[in-house]
Amino acid sequence: IDYTGTDPSSPCNKCLSPNETPCVCTINFTLEQSFEGNVFMYYGLSNFYQNHRRYVKSRDDSQLNGDPSALLNPSKECEPYRRNEDKPIAPCGAIANSMFNDTLELFLVGNESDPTPIILKKKGIAWWTDKNVKFRNPPGGDIPLEERFKGTTKPVNWVKPVYMLDSDQDNNGFINEDFIVWMRTAALPTFRKLYRLIERTNDLHPTLPAGRYYLNITYNYPVHSFDGRKRMILSTISWMGGKNPFLGIAYIAIGSISFLLGVVLLVINHKYRNSSNTADITI
Amino acid sequence: METKMALNYQGKSQKRSAVEKSINAFLIVYLFILLTKAAVCTTLKYVWQSTPYNDEPWYNQKTQKERESLKVLKMFTDFLSFMVLFNFIIPVSMYVTVEMQKFLGSFFISWDKDFYDEEINEGALVNTSDLNEELGQVDYVFTDKTGTLTENSMEFIECCIDGHKYKGVTQETDGLSQTDGPLPYFDKADKVTFSVYGFTFVGIRNGYMRVENQRKEIEEYELLHTLNFDSVRRRMSVIVKTQSGDILLFCKGADSAVFPRVQNHEIELTKAHVERNAMDGYRTLCVAFKEIAPDDYERINRQLIEAKLALQDREEKLEKVFDDVETNMNLIGATAVEDKLQDQAAETIEALHAAGLKVWVLTGDKMETAKSTCYACRLFQTSTELLELTTKTIEESERKEDRLHELLTEYRKKLLREFPKSTRSLKKAWTEHQEYGLIIDGSTLSLILNSSQDSSSNNYKSIFVQICMKCTAVLCCRMAPLQKAQIVRMVKNLKGSPITLSIGDGANDVSMILESHVGIGIKGKEGRQAARNSDYSVPKFKHLKKLLLAHGHLYYVRIAHLVQYFFYKNLCFILPQFLYQFFCGFSQQPLYDAAYLTMYNICFTSLPILAYSLLEQHINIDTLTADPRLYMKISGNAMLQLGPFLYWTFLAAFEGTVFFFGTYFLFQTSSLEENAKVYGNWTFGTIVFTVLVFTVTLKLALDTRFWTWINHFVIWGSLAFYVFFSFFWGGIIWPFLKQQRMYFVFAQMLSSVSTWLAIFLLIFISLFPEILLIVLKNVRRRSARRNLSCKKASDSLSTRPSVRPLLLRTFSDESNIL
């Protein structure tokens, strides 16, 4: 579902003007079929060059790994997002600075007056190794996170500092999973990132029954300036990942070509054997 | 510096092989590709950046410094960074591998047991490892006769003295108590002569030559002077003092050198003998003597010493004295010794002919001797029509040049008529047309090459060259060593610069060996100068066959494949990187991790190709030696021509595109994992890289026809090492690295089923054309074989008309069988 709002009829169109903050818009949609099993909610951006060289290297992995010296003295690669007003930025760099900050909420419209909110799970969207090894908060045991990040300032574009990303201590600071997902730079300029999980709660009911829904968006993230697009994608996953027509088509195509060639060669082979057989007979 | 060797020495130039030249040409092409790629990327980058939100979107701003730098300077640095990014397309590591291949590969020649000769207890020797593959490219073979084609072990056959022929009869003539010189070659011939006649040369002691005569008495002769042999005079003399005080000069030498200097009248008889002996292929030698009066000797002695001591022009002075002294001699007679052909020399020459090589024999011997040797070793067949350009055919006359001109034009006409203008099927033509052989001697050759400086001389030369090119075999006799080199140089500079190979055993062949592309020395009996100056030395002429047909062929195929493969794998490697630039805003973002970039050529793909290029035998060695025609397949640098090069390049381009876009389409989906987590750009690169490493290695495995355990070890070992390294590289947070971008990327990648499927699919697609080609080749070969057998089978039947009543046919078939 595209909610960029470039189309004037879109409810999010009003959010394109910069003076409307905070801007909340709502998009209605209908699911024709119910979603069985776990459903995954992605946000997708296009024309966003997360793979630009200047962008990719603009991070400090030792800072993100909780190194105290790197926290206060981030790597030079982070320029021009290294220091702000003489204070080191944590987390530094262009990637962190441009973190996706729209909030998406999903509601099922059961009966007109009382829409049911769908429970969206925040945790379990990042790689396990990233969450537990590669990204670490600065050391400090029981000291509150705010203390541990003392001496640093928030990235320029952020509203809140890094230690206020979430109320849950296991999902705050550098180990916030939204943040970790964002920090894994995408390979192509059009990409999707996992936003939330919708877990199946009851075996009897489908996770998302067919019906009308609406998506509540707190619109913060500007993409219009670079001709980008924002989308929300709901998807189920099979044992081999998301729906991928490429692999299927390619396998079928190659398989049939090979089969065809095999048949042709078999025929040729057979024909030649025949001719040689007849030659044998005439002798 | 005035030894014979030094005089014939020409200065050694760096020998470069044709393969190296092709490599350089390919390099230029790839350099051009590199520059184009960088230029295209730089241009597109600035086109792309012309929209401000692409140049500097809000999420990815430039630093102050970047903004301030000059645009021209920025463009230049961008161009350079693209060059750095794509520089792996130039296979730098290829040079290392090629050198290693050549160095290690040359051991195979010295290890070859077939080259081991029991007589001298030595095998082949490799002096340079640079030219291995050149052995597979030879077009012209220049061979010496004595000691190379022949054994160089002299067997006395007969002699004639004063016009009488003696054959094994004990007969003594005082005059025969002849000579010894420093040249072991003639020495031997004479020794044989002596022993037959009951004179045994004992040795030199205190300047006395001691000769044991029939009655077992030792006669002593005081050796006064030795007038050394040289190839211009073609004779040598000694001056001795007998016990009775007479001073005698004995001279021996080639007939043409001796006959004009004798006063006898029986020359005619001896001459006839000599001619006949030469026709039989014997080496002939004339002996003459002269008595010197004591006062004459005083004068000669003075002159000789004076000349020997002269500081300037010693050569000329000595020569002049020699010339003066060696006159008015009395002819004693002539000897004939047989020099047997080497074992399998004829077979070798035949094989070389069949392999499409042109064999030229360059010898210092008499024409008749050389000619009969050539017949004996089947250089000339009985059906070969001989064209002669010798002093005999040209005749000693005033009109030498005119006559020469006539002959040349006549021969050319003849040849041109035979061969149609187009040279396309020259090699085929040999088997179908009349074969021509050319005989030329030294004096005629010098007439052609250095005739008077008018315009016609050039003309002669070009006509001569044309004639030579049309002949299958050329015999050049009465050659001075420098003339040999001259001929080699002439052929070397022909159109298309054919590869020349010289083989010889003596010091007189050294200049020829040095001049040609590949020089082969035979460890013969004339000392080791040739072997020492050569690129390769073998004990016998017959070894040339295996050296060229088997080793040369294999080396060439190996190195050609090596070169092509290197360019191929680097293009495969860099092309996805280039394509990626289109998707990352031309920002020089590398697709692969830095470790992969550097390790690719060094660790992941280097050893399999090295092992391949050392061990590959696409055709069995025995088959190669048995079927010389296979050699023609690779002549003219066939595997490094434009065609194969384009094939490899397109293959690489195809595979690179498959790698990149396959992965690209794979990444169109939301997630590749069953837990819906997403992959980043490093996973993208790692998938491409994994497919790449597996494909290029498996491609080599497909090409390998000769599997040894080493091949298995390095091919599967490399792949295993790649997997192991990737796990290791991604398994640890490396403390010294600033960026932990590869952390667990590889392991995470392998946890996805889709990735596995995609990797297998992409490898298969990439190798598909190759597999298809192999299958088609197999089918064609099999069907060709079947056709062949069918044809053979039906040949006997084909004469019968096919439209006959069935009954009749079966009947007659049966009767045929019966």
pLDDT digits (tens, 9 = 90+) for B414-423: 666 555 444 4
User: So what's the pLDDT on residue B742?
Assistant: 81
When pLDDT is averaged across residues A208-222 and rounded to a whole number, the result is 84
Binding site, annotated residues of B for ATP: 144-146, 229, 252, 283, 363-365, 478, 484, 508-509
Q: Rounded CA gap, A153 and A160, in Å?
A: 10
When pLDDT is averaged across residues B518-526 and rounded to a whole number, the result is 77
The predicted-structure confidence for B193-252, as pLDDT tens digits, reads as follows 444 444 455 555 555 665 555 556 666 667 777 777 665 666 777 777 777 777 777 777
Query: Given a cut of 50, is residue B491 above it in pLDDT?
Result: yes
More confident site: B236 or B41: B41
Q: Which of A76-85, B144-153, B512-521, B675-684 has the lowest average pLDDT?
A: B144-153
Query: Given a cut of 90, is residue B15 above it in pLDDT?
Result: no
Cβ atoms within 10 Å, residue B710: 16
Torsional sign, CA A249, A253, A254, A259: positive
Query: Given a cut of 50, is residue A277 above it in pLDDT?
Result: no
When pLDDT is averaged across residues A68-81 and rounded to a whole number, the result is 83
Considering CB atoms only, which of B59, B669, B779 is closest to A94? B59
Contact B710, B620 (CB under 8 A): no
Query: Given a cut of 70, is residue B424 above it in pLDDT?
Result: no
* C-alpha distances in Å from residue B281, one per residue of B336, B338, B341: 9, 7, 10
CB contact under 8 A, A244 and B772: no
> Nearest CA of chain A to the CA of B597: how many Å?
16
Q: Rounded CA gap, B651 and B111, in Å?
A: 37
Q: Is B621 exposed, middle or buried (0-12, 13-18, 19+ CB in 10 A)?
A: middle
Cβ atoms within 10 Å, residue B167: 11
Mean pLDDT of chain B: 75
Q: Chain A residue closest to B51 (CA)?
A: A226
Cβ atoms within 10 Å, residue B30: 18
> Would you say how long chain B is, in residues?
818
B180-189, B330-339, B721-730: range with highest mean pLDDT: B721-730
Task: Write out the two tokens for B789.
Answer: 């057998």
Q: Which of B460, B467, B459, B456 is nearest to B387 (CA)?
A: B467
| Confidence label for B294 from pLDDT (cuts 50, 70 and 90) | confident
Considering CB atoms only, which of B585, B678, B790 is closest to A52? B585
| Confidence label for B395 from pLDDT (cuts 50, 70 and 90) | low
CB contact under 8 A, B775 and A265: yes
Cβ atoms within 10 Å, residue B705: 11
Residues of A in contact with B783 (CB under 8 A): 268, 272
Considering CB atoms only, which of A53, A81, A273 is closest to B584? A53
More confident site: A240 or B537: B537
Pairing of strands B436-441, B385-389: parallel
Task: Write out the two tokens for A141.
Answer: 């045991």
- Backbone torsions φ then ψ of B611, nearest 5 degrees: -65, -40
Name the CA radius of gyration of chain A, rounded.
Answer: 26
Contact B7, B229 (CB under 8 A): no
| Confidence label for A237 from pLDDT (cuts 50, 70 and 90) | confident
Considering CB atoms only, which of A65, A272, A273 is closest to B733? A65
Residue type, B488: V
Task: Write out the two tokens for B609.
Answer: 């190709």
Q: What is the DSSP string of B307-345?
A: HHH-SSSHHHHHHHHHHHHS-SBEEEEEEEEEEEEPTTH
Query: Given a cut of 70, is residue B429 above it in pLDDT?
Result: no
* B760, containing H or E segment: helix B753-798
Query: Given a cut of 70, is residue B591 above it in pLDDT?
Result: yes
CA B128 to chain centre: 12
Task: Write out the two tokens for A124.
Answer: 């379990």
Query: Given a cut of 80, is residue A78 above it in pLDDT?
Result: yes
Q: Which of A55, A57, A182 to mutate to test the interface with B (most CBs of B within 10 A)?
A: A55
Q: Rounded CA gap, A217 and B344, in Å?
A: 93
| Confidence label for B698 from pLDDT (cuts 50, 70 and 90) | very high
Considering CB atoms only, which of A52, A126, A235 is closest to B584? A52
| Confidence label for B697 from pLDDT (cuts 50, 70 and 90) | very high
* C-alpha distances in Å from residue A34, one per residue of A206, A211, A213, B94: 6, 8, 12, 59
> Nearest CA of chain B to the CA of A14: how many Å?
21
When pLDDT is averaged across residues B599-616 and rounded to a whole number, the result is 88
User: So what's the pLDDT on residue B3?
Assistant: 63
User: So what's the pLDDT on residue A283?
Assistant: 35
The predicted-structure confidence for A158-198, as pLDDT tens digits, reads as follows 888 888 888 888 888 888 888 888 988 888 888 888 888 88
| Confidence label for B715 from pLDDT (cuts 50, 70 and 90) | very high
Query: Given a cut of 60, is residue B810 above it in pLDDT?
Result: no
User: So what's the pLDDT on residue B717?
Assistant: 92
Cβ atoms within 10 Å, residue B24: 10
> Nearest CA of chain A to the CA of B439: how many Å?
51
Residues of B in contact with A74 (CB under 8 A): none
User: So what's the pLDDT on residue B32?
Assistant: 92
Query: Given a cut of 60, is residue A76 above it in pLDDT?
Result: yes
Query: For residue B411, what are the β-bridge partners?
Result: none
User: So what's the pLDDT on residue B652?
Assistant: 92
CB contact under 8 A, A51 and B589: yes
Looking at CATH, the fold of the domain delimited by B18-106+550-791 is given as Calcium-transporting ATPase, transmembrane domain (1.20.1110)
Known catalytic residues of B are 144
- What does the DSSP 8-state code read for residue B262? B
* Secondary structure of B565-612 in HEC code, one letter for each residue: HHHHHHHHHHHHHHHHHCCCCCCCCCCCCHHHHHHHHHHHCHHHHHHH
Query: Given a cut of 90, is residue B653 above it in pLDDT?
Result: yes
Contact B752, A239 (CB under 8 A): no
User: So what's the pLDDT on residue B721?
Assistant: 92
The predicted-structure confidence for B447-470, as pLDDT tens digits, reads as follows 776 654 445 556 677 777 777 777
In chain B, the percentage of residues whose pLDDT exceeds 90 is 8
CB contact under 8 A, B669 and A40: no
* C-alpha distances in Å from residue B554, one per residue of B347, B551, B597, B630: 21, 5, 32, 11
When pLDDT is averaged across residues A13-36 and rounded to a whole number, the result is 78
User: Dmax over Cα atoms in chain B, in whole Å?
Assistant: 119
Establish, for the pair of chains A and B, how many residue pairs have beta carbons separated by less than 8 Å. 218
Architecture of domain B125-147+353-536: 3-Layer(aba) Sandwich (3.40)
- Backbone torsions φ then ψ of B512, nearest 5 degrees: -65, -40
User: So what's the pLDDT on residue B724?
Assistant: 92
Pairing of strands B518-522, B500-504: parallel
A235-239, B15-19, B175-179, B486-490: range with highest mean pLDDT: B486-490
Q: Rounded CA gap, B643 and B560, in Å?
A: 13
More confident site: B394 or B724: B724
Query: Given a cut of 90, is residue B409 above it in pLDDT?
Result: no
Domain borders along chain B are 18-106+550-791, 125-147+353-536, 150-338
User: So what's the pLDDT on residue B621?
Assistant: 82
Q: Rounded CA gap, A121 and A198, in Å?
A: 6
User: So what's the pLDDT on residue B692?
Assistant: 92
User: So what's the pLDDT on residue B406?
Assistant: 67
CB contact under 8 A, A181 and B678: yes
More confident site: B4 or B560: B560
Query: Given a cut of 90, is residue B620 above it in pLDDT?
Result: no
The predicted-structure confidence for B309-354, as pLDDT tens digits, reads as follows 777 777 777 777 777 777 777 777 777 777 677 777 788 888 888 8
User: So what's the pLDDT on residue B640?
Assistant: 82
> Nearest CA of chain A to the CA of B806: how many Å?
12
CB contact under 8 A, B671 and A184: no
Query: Given a cut of 90, is residue A228 above it in pLDDT?
Result: no
Architecture of domain B150-338: 3-Layer(aba) Sandwich (3.40)
* Secondary structure of B677-726 in HEC code, one letter for each residue: CCCCHHHHHHHHHHHHHHHHHHHHHHHCCCCCHHHHHHHHHHHHHHHHHH
Query: Given a cut of 90, is residue B720 above it in pLDDT?
Result: yes
Task: Write out the two tokens for B796.
Answer: 């006997």
| Confidence label for A92 from pLDDT (cuts 50, 70 and 90) | confident
In chain B, the percentage of residues whose pLDDT exceeds 70 is 75
Residue type, B486: Q
Q: Rounded CA gap, B548 and B561, in Å?
A: 18
CB contact under 8 A, B676 and A194: yes
